[in-house]
Amino acid sequence: MTASRAFIAIVMLVFMAGTGASLLFSRWEAAEIEQSLDRLAGYEAAIAARPQLEAELKRVQQESASLAGLVTGASAPLAAANMQNAVRTVVGRSGGEIRSSQNLPPSSADGFEKIDIAYDVTLPMNRLKDLLYQLETATPFLFLDRLNLETQQNLSQRPDGTQPQIDIHFVARGYRWVGG
């Protein structure tokens, strides 16, 4: 083999090696481009679906806000006022008297606001069962917590025929939808 033929053979080997490397590099680039285009198509589909998803979210939030059993009110103080009216009605129907009520600070979690109100109530002892039943089965749903009962020493019926009174201390809790 002459020097010129050897040189041509070497040039051809280098060219073929370079061409093979460039073909390999082109295939790798094509695969990367294809993956990028697939991701882009997925992003475009998600963007196109956004208005529909936002409409569905709004519908679900409105539906959740009107669920039976939730305390109504545009704010925590208005919801507390609505709860107080409901409790006042139930206590009055049971022959009791609200001595005091105190709104406790509201707290929020998972799209709901927890409204707590502490009460001191006096009630004829024979009406206690009715009061507790009516409070826990009322709408909006109220949950009683920290229930404390205090009675007088002599629990027998009084000479004038009236029932002995019982003092009840409890926290009534309701939930209001605030979204989330």
Same domain for 81 and 60: no
In the chain, which ranges are continuous DSSP H helix?
3-65, 76-93, 128-137
Total domain count, the chain: 2
Name residues whose C-beta falls within 8 Å of residue 145's C-beta, 6 or more positions apart in sequence: 116, 170, 171, 172, 173
- Domain shared by 121 and 173, yes or no: yes
Condensed to tens digits (0 to 9), the pLDDT of residues 83-118 reads 999 999 999 999 999 999 999 999 888 888 999 999
61 and 81 together in one domain: no
Provide the domain limits for residue 56: 1-65
Domain annotation covers residue 54:
yes
Residues 35 and 80 in one domain: no
Indicate if 88 and 40 belong to the same structural domain: no
Give the domain CATH number at 153: 3.30.70.60
The per-residue b/e assignment along 34-57, b for 16 or more CB within 10 angstroms, e otherwise, is eeeeeeeeeeeeeeeeeeeeeeee
Residue 71 lies in a domain: no
> Has residue 70 been placed in a domain?
no
Within this chain, do residues 56 and 84 fall inside the same structural domain, yes or no?
A: no
**Average pLDDT score, the chain:** 81
Within-domain flag for 130: yes
Same structural domain, 105 and 162: yes
122: which strand partners? 97, 167
pLDDT above 70 coverage of the chain, percent: 74
pTM above threshold 0.75: no
On whether both 59 and 115 belong to a single domain, the answer is no
Helical (H) or strand (E) element with 175: strand 165-177
Same domain, 106 and 130: yes
Question: Band of the pLDDT at 70, cuts 50, 70, 90?
Answer: confident
Burial class of 137 by CB neighbour count within 10 A (0 to 12, 13 to 18, 19+): exposed
Rounded mean pLDDT, 58-73: 71
Q: Does 92 lie in the same domain as 4? A: no
Verify that 82 and 168 share a domain, yes or no.
yes
Say if residue 128 is in the same domain as residue 157. Answer: yes
